[in-house]
Amino acid sequence: MYDLIRDAPLGQAIRFLSGKRLFKYPEEEASFALPPQYTARLKEEKPDIGNAPDQRISGDTQTSQQHRPGDVENIGGEWMHEHDARGEREIELQRTKSIPIVPEKTNDGVVLVDWYTTDDPANPQNWSKLKKYWITGVLCAYTFAVYCGGPVYVASAAGVEERFGVGPVASSLGLALYVCAFGVGDLIFSPITEIPVVGRNHVYYLTFIVYWALSFAPPVVNSFGGLLVLRFLLGFFGSPALANGGASVGDIYSLLYVPYGLCWWAFGGYQGPSIGPLIGGFAAQAKGWRWPMWEVVWLSSIILVLLLTLMPETSADNILLRRARRLRKLTGNANLQSQSEINQRHISTYSIVKTVLIRPTEIMLKDPSIFFIHVYTAYFYAIFYTFFEVFPLVFPVIYGFNEGETGLAFVSCLIGSTTALFSYFAYLHFYMIPDNIKNGLRAQEHRLVPAIFGSVLLPVGMFMFAWTARESVHWIVCLISVALFVCGEFIVMQSLFIYLPMSYPQYAASLFAGNSVLRSTLAGGAVLFARPLFVNLGVARGVSLLAGISVAGIIGTTMIYFFGAKLRARSTFATS
């Protein structure tokens, strides 16, 4: 608990204000002695570049030294790039006792600061299960709050139309701009957190302070244009939860078990659109259209307290950089440096622009697998956001639901994602993890089997919704169909987002940034075109059109499963 508070923003502020007399690190204690392996390295006249394997422990706790200087994408904590080559040693490393790690020494005499031992408590991979679960929980709550802040606006849409005299499509801009801002924020904040001196936490709490402050304005704004600007800014400053939450999860879990953490984090994201319309609907019905936006204030206040008081830094690069600074202050030896701070000296503006703008487009256009995955995930993500337009055309009109009851219908998304979560956990526990332990890491396509089944559920759920949304069929059937769709979407998303970094580890940041921009843009557009689509074609035909297009996803996912290895063999970006 001590280190959890010390490494949180509030603990760091107390350290600063006390002149580092409070919440000290081990290197700042009077009793601390420089580990003997560091003392020996510093005394060497020439670097020992011929270490035998038993002289230096690398393993799961060792940071990668294979980064390409000058590329922001390769200086950060890209867990898949580091772990993929060590997957075969996963079980052995989990049983490793406390063995000193001998630091590397470069030809110019720099001793690379690393973890002191294989069980170094400063290494996020070595943190206790309870601490990892807590951090995962905070990330889930953070992501939930940001995702909830978008759809909760749906309950206010009717009031916005009446108050500002705008039409339904114009009022839906409040949600569309919020979602589009996710992608814009991802382009900026994702590469920033990979700069070692910045890390994850500074971006999280600084942007969320702005998010929290801005959230007070929409409930009282008296200009429609001002409301839209505020909604966009809220989405922009909330985006780090979506852009970097997965990276934080990857910081603390090993390769075998990171899918569990990623699933919980994604689950938090799915609960926002499920719960937001529910709490917003009853609030708007009871207190008026401004109250759902006050709920954003209350929820973000709780999350901000958690981020400031109990959310530690998880980036290994940042932790080692700060350790190197403390060791230099302790010893007065400038040759004690971390690999991450050496690499970050070569970062240029061009490398950042290339990572977030040029490279994602280049990979997508040159690699058919990436093109399909980007388009497919963006498509069904966009369909998910059409729910916020089709539900008000079905449940109040056909089944006579009031505002609160229409919001309650979104609980079907919660049921679908919960079913998918535990189904995917069962797949990991009973098949994937035992298979990896027994046979090692197979070809990446092996992880796409759940995605094939999930891709079938997508059109099945949509066709079922399209042709059962009528008075002669009970409303529960429509909700079951929505749950089926969300279940399929969740499983497909998890499978594809594990496949991407395993196949293209050195370009993972570029790929996820490009995917986020495409998903957010298409989802924002879907919010705008959905209502005219369903009004003009009718709910049955409109949803059937979207379902018919999604059938292509079954074919595409199956083709990648069978032919993905051949496509990667011809790709200049992939890892075979």
Q: What is the per-residue pLDDT for 576? A: 52
DSSP secondary structure letters along 458-483: HHHHHHHHHHH-STTS-HHHHHHHHH
Place of tokens 């970062």: 347
Residues above pLDDT 90, as percent of the chain:
40
User: Quick one: which of 119, 117, 116 has its CA closest to 94?
Assistant: 119
State residue 454's pLDDT score: 93
Asked whether the beta carbons of 422 and 260 are under 8 A apart, the reply is no
> Residue 124 contacts by C-beta under 8 Å, 6 or more apart in sequence?
251, 252, 314, 316, 319
Average pLDDT over residues 351-367: 73
158-207 pLDDT, tens digit per residue, is 899 999 999 888 999 999 999 999 988 888 887 787 788 888 899 999 99
Residue partners of 543: CB distance under 8 A and separation at least 6 = 390, 462, 463, 465, 466, 469, 534
Of the candidates 455, 487, 290, 266, which has an alpha carbon nearest to the alpha carbon of residue 377? 455
The pLDDT assigned to 467 comes to: 93
Q: Three-state SS for 44?
A: coil
Q: Are 113 and 56 in contact (CB under 8 A)?
A: no
Residue 139 has pLDDT above 80, yes or no: yes
Q: Report the length, in residues, of the chain.
A: 576
User: What per-residue confidence (pLDDT) applies to 43?
Assistant: 81
Least confidently predicted of 54-58, 431-435, 551-555, 564-568: 54-58
Residue 506: what pLDDT?
Answer: 67
HSE of 478, CA atoms in CB hemisphere, 13 A:
25
The pLDDT, as a whole number, for residue 480 is: 95
State how far the Cα of 137 lies from the Cα of 217, in Å rounded to an integer.
28
User: pLDDT digits over 219-247, tens only?
Assistant: 999 999 999 999 999 999 999 988 788 88
Residue 155 · residue 403 · CB < 8 Å: yes
Task: Flag whether pLDDT at 344 surpasses 50.
Answer: yes
For the segment 282-304, what is each residue's pLDDT rounded down to a tens digit? Answer: 888 888 889 999 999 999 999 99
Span 99-123, mean pLDDT?
Answer: 87
The 10 Å CB-count burial string (b at 16+, else e) for 226-260 is ebbbbbbbbbbbbbbbbbbbbbbbbbbbbbbebbb
Instruction: Report whether pLDDT(81) > 50.
Output: no
Mean pLDDT of 137-156: 92
**Averaged pLDDT of the chain:** 84
Distance CA 308, CA 208 (A): 10
Q: How confident is the model at residue 42 (pLDDT cuts 50, 70, 90)?
A: confident
- Residue 191 in tokens: 């590469």
3-state SS, one letter per residue, for 208-261: HHHHHHHCCCCCCCCCHHHHHHHHHHHHHHHCHHHHHHHHHHHHHCCCCCHHHH
Q: Which residue has the tokens 């997965």?
A: 246
Please provide the CATH number assigned to the domain covering 349-576. 1.20.1250
- Choose from 35-49, 65-79, 179-193, 529-543 the range with maximum mean pLDDT: 529-543
271, 277, 278, 279 alpha-carbon torsion, rounded to 10°: 100
pLDDT at 234: 95
The CATH number of the structural domain formed by 129-314 is 1.20.1250.20
Please report the pLDDT score of residue 568 as a whole number: 76
How far apart are the C-alpha atoms of 291 and 298, rounded to whole Å? 11
| Model pLDDT, residue 88 | 44
Which contiguous run of DSSP H or E holds residue 337? strand 336-337
Where in the sequence of the chain do the CATH 1.20.1250.20 domains occur?
129-314
Proportion of the chain above pLDDT 70, given as a percent:
88
Distances (CA, A) of 87 to 23, 216, 254, 315, 552: 36, 47, 9, 20, 34
Instruction: Return d(Cα 274, Cα 206) in angstroms, integer.
Output: 27
**Band (85; pLDDT cuts 50, 70, 90):** very low
Question: In the numeric block, which tokens belong to residue 198?
Answer: 């910045």
Q: Specify the pTM.
A: 0.87
Parallel, antiparallel or unpaired: strands 336-337 and 111-112: parallel
Q: What is the mean pLDDT of residues 84-97?
A: 50
| Per-residue confidence (pLDDT) for residue 436, from 0 to 100 | 84
